[in-house]
Structure 1
């Protein structure tokens, strides 16, 4: 697995993901963007310092995206999001991609905390996030609307010191 910055050539892959109702429901976002709209968004955000978008590759093929959003340099925190293409799910890429995004946030951007929102019923994602060290900070009741109904969402957070301590334990165990 490899991560690299999102580039304009990746937009056809993003377009496919952004137009999938089931994928966008996981991000609590509305599907159906035009390719022109996506291109305009890319051009507008490519220099935005409050976000970083990375492509996850497997064998030089597009496998997903991990994003650090709402990067706040004063409070040193950011939200993280990930989408793995359906044909690459179940191969450990979500955990590896999240770890790479977290490492970038803590080691390059000098963030203090990375947080995320996850559907309270998405047990597979919650399991991955907990393995990485995220802890539930609260439940937002009926906070997001997707697929015709309101969903509870957990807000989960990970502090830099906790992530580094967990990595040291993992390295010693190896």
Structure 2
């Protein structure tokens, strides 16, 4: 299966909205179900100056999305956060790995990002394993920080520091 990574285009908003109709996918994000494609378009356009939006495409279909959000604060320009979602039909087939790998290449080699951060639900073992595979470490836990399916959930705060910088700094 060939996974093509490309930049987000206007034609991707309806498939992204459709992807977020799957409860299992929405459950592992901070989004709510049933957002219209206009919601996604407005959300991404409002962040366009400080973000990069990637699409994973398989056989012409949107298989996943990853958004990199860079900080607008002068002293935090080296920090980015990201969110990722993979269509349920393509989970477990390397789409998430391909998106994370491409994000890391962009951050390390083009965007001058030294630290990449994310939050992930503590019970999302597959995602945690993926992030650890790419050098992300759990730095803490945010308890009761997201409401979903009638209950509060907790998230791990994870981060990856560019390896060449870690080699320069003594351990803390």
Normalised by the size of structure 2, how large is the TM-score?
0.84
C-alpha distance in structure 2 between counterparts of 1:58 and 1:16, whole Å:
16
Name the counterpart of 1:113: 115
* Superposed CA RMSD: 2.2
C-alpha distance in structure 2 between counterparts of 1:154 and 1:133, whole Å:
15
Name which of 138, 148, 162 aligns with 1:146.
148
Paired residues, what number? 163
Please say if 1:69 is aligned against 2:69.
yes
Name the counterpart of 2:170: none
C-alpha distance in structure 2 between counterparts of 1:71 and 1:60, whole Å:
32
Q: 8 Å contact 1:29–1:146 — kept in the other structure? A: no
Q: 8 Å contact 1:117–1:155 — kept in the other structure? A: yes
Name which of 121, 124, 131 aligns with 1:122.
124
Please say if 1:45 is aligned against 2:46.
yes
Name the counterpart of 1:55: 55
Q: Which deviates the most, 18-27 or 139-148?
A: 18-27
Q: Which deviates the most, 16-25 or 94-103?
A: 16-25
C-alpha distance in structure 2 between counterparts of 1:109 and 1:154, whole Å:
25
Q: 8 Å contact 2:121–2:156 — kept in the other structure? A: yes
Name the counterpart of 1:132: 134
Runs (5+) with no aligned partner, structure 2 = 168-172
Runs (5+) with no aligned partner, structure 1 = 166-174
